[in-house]
Amino acid sequence: MSRYIIFIFLALVTFACASKDNKPNADTASAKPAIDGAKIFKQNCELCHGADGKLGANGSKDLTVSELDLNERIAMVTKGKGVMMAFENILSLSEIKAVAEYSITLKK
């Protein structure tokens, strides 16, 4: 019987610790401002690609017809190519991912 009580006690302690650990994570996640891919695009990409991705200024490619997948776009934005600068020191990884995802939504 006493073994059961110890087991239940340990289970409760484990459960209590686990839920304590989860709480701060949930709080920090909700405290972070949501990353807005559209806004990042407006601030960093519109200059060459245009609001609709079609501008093609400075020899940039029309993003509405780009066949690159998400990973290729993330690589493109991170490292840059030719006239397009690398954004690895300008945007965070999650911002790069958000803007790459947004650029796919421009596809027609």
Decide if residue 83 touches ligand HEC (CB under 6 A): yes
* 3-state secondary structure (DSSP) of residue 24: helix
Q: Specify the amino acid at residue 28.
A: T
CB of 54 to ligand HEC, least distance (A): 12
d(CA 89, CA 108): 30
Question: Which residue stretch of 8-16, 18-26, 28-36, 76-84 sits at the interface with ligand HEC (rule: CB under 6 A)?
Answer: 76-84
Decide if residue 39 touches ligand HEC (CB under 6 A): no
Question: Which residue stretch of 8-16, 17-25, 26-34, 99-107 sits at the interface with ligand HEC (rule: CB under 6 A)?
Answer: 99-107
Taking a C-beta distance cutoff of 8 angstroms, is the pair 69, 8 a contact? no
# binding residues, ligand HEC (CB under 6 A):
24
Question: For binding to ligand HEC (CB under 6 A), which residues are involved?
Answer: 44-45, 47-49, 58-61, 63, 66, 68, 73, 76-77, 81-85, 87, 99-100, 103
